[in-house]
Amino acid sequence: MKIDNRIVAGVCLLIVLGLAAHLFQFTGVRTIIGMLLLFVVPAYMILDNFDLEQDEKLFFAFFISISLFTLFTWYVDRILPSLRLSLAVSFILLVCGGYALKRYRKGRSHKQLSEGAK
């Protein structure tokens, strides 16, 4: 019997959100969801361009983002006067970087395929 990784991940996420709701009410749930959005999504978009399995992408995305997002935010905060603005700009930069990398790799693979057909 094989259990799908998405089901296991969904159940684990629901357990964590339920525990956060029990211990910290709505603030805890909002914090967990915010951490997932800020920490996991940008690095996951970047790692989605590489040939990794789903669980590897999530694992690496979390730990890479802890360092990458924090570093970007610190550098942007040195330029911009507001921490909230720095968080938003860092998130946008990382998401745009992931999107640009995806477009670059897609265009490069189409170019290689068209050159290989000649």
Sequence spans of domains, the chain: 36-117
pLDDT at 1: 43
Q: How far is CA 91 from CA 36, 41, 58, 74, 82, in A?
A: 12, 9, 17, 12, 14
Tokens 């967990």 correspond to what residue? 32
pTM: 0.63
Dig out the tokens for 31 from the structure. 């914090």
| Distance separating alpha carbons of residues 14 and 12, to the nearest angstrom | 5
- Rounded to the nearest 10 degrees, what angle do helices 54-79 and 83-117 cross at? 130
Mean pLDDT, the chain, integer: 82
- State the average pLDDT over residues 48-58: 81
Dig out the tokens for 73 from the structure. 């935010």
Residue 2 has φ and ψ, to the nearest 5°, of -105, 130
Tokens 């525990």 correspond to what residue? 19
